[in-house]
Amino acid sequence: MSLGLHENRQRRRRRFWWAVTKWSLALIAIVAAGAYSYRIGSQLAARDVTKAEQRIVELTEEVGGLERQSAALASELAKSKESIAAWQARYEREVPTGFVRELMSLVQQKLDAGADQERLAFLVSTAQKPRTCDETPQTKRFIVTTSLQSGANDAVSFADRSITVTASGTAARDASGNIEAWFDPNQPVKIAFTELGGKSVTAEGALPLHRSIVVGDDEYRFTFLPGARGFLSVTADRCDYP
């Protein structure tokens, strides 16, 4: 009887220690798994922190670069505004407006029409001086030479014969298209001014035609208009020069 009890106690003891051993091994396994997981998690967290720190450094550098670029652009913008303001001020100073602009436009028209540059410059520089002119302009007429017309009465003189004026033009045509002897007043004419000594200048254009000639201290202002058939009428007004 005592032997059976002893064996039962031995079996219960072995089962107890086996249970303790199993739970101990299970606990050890759980602790080991937890420790391993903690270690892996710590490594991953450390890696993520490192990556985050690197990204922060990169972003900080990018922000710094953008700030420097923004400062450079702001500086360039300020310089551009200063340049624009300077050009605007220069434009307002140098580009004429109002009467001056109209006067420059008129001067350009005169230059395009063949006016003498030095003469225009002189007239502008002496514009404040009153002009003294004769009260009795001279008017004369002469024949305009053509391909079929030349000879007598084809010249007139002014300034005590110091200026001789002649003209040539295009021959007129009748209704049938035949050439006539006299010039066509609707076509441009060419005027020649010959001074004593042989110096000659010309003016060419449609009538009425205007031209000024300076001889010594006198300026002669000529105006040409169509006269009787074949003739040209010229009026000369003498003024002091300058």
Task: Looking at the structure, tell me whether residues 180 and 221 fall in a common domain.
Answer: yes
> pLDDT value at position 15?
80
Q: Per-residue pLDDT tens for 36-77?
A: 878 887 787 778 888 888 888 888 888 888 888 888 888 888
Task: Looking at the structure, tell me whether residues 171 and 159 fall in a common domain.
Answer: yes
What whole-number percentage of the chain has pLDDT above 90? Answer: 36
* Of the residues 79, 95, 111, the one at which a domain ends: 95
* Of the residues 69, 95, 121, the one at which a domain ends: 95
Give how many domains the chain has, as a whole number: 3
State yes or no: pLDDT of 1 exceeds 70: no
Window from 37-46, 66-75, 172-181, 214-223 with minimum mean pLDDT: 37-46
Task: Looking at the structure, tell me whether residues 199 and 236 fall in a common domain.
Answer: yes
Task: Looking at the structure, tell me whether residues 231 and 138 fall in a common domain.
Answer: yes
> pLDDT value at position 144?
96
Task: Looking at the structure, tell me whether residues 141 and 233 fall in a common domain.
Answer: yes
> pLDDT value at position 207?
95
Task: Looking at the structure, tell me whether residues 231 and 172 fall in a common domain.
Answer: yes
Domain that holds residue 195: 132-240
- Beta strands 200-205; 189-195: pairing state: antiparallel
Task: Looking at the structure, tell me whether residues 230 and 139 fall in a common domain.
Answer: yes
Task: Looking at the structure, tell me whether residues 10 and 85 fall in a common domain.
Answer: yes
Task: Looking at the structure, tell me whether residues 211 and 155 fall in a common domain.
Answer: yes
State yes or no: pLDDT of 126 exceeds 70: no
Q: Which residue has the higher pLDDT, 35 or 144?
A: 144
* Of the residues 50, 72, 95, the one at which a domain ends: 95
Task: Looking at the structure, tell me whether residues 148 and 106 fall in a common domain.
Answer: no
What is the overall mean pLDDT for the chain? 85
Task: Looking at the structure, tell me whether residues 88 and 102 fall in a common domain.
Answer: no
Confidence band of 12 (pLDDT split at 50, 70, 90): confident
Task: Looking at the structure, tell me whether residues 143 and 217 fall in a common domain.
Answer: yes
pTM for the model? 0.48
**For the residues 13-21, what does the mean pLDDT come to?**
79
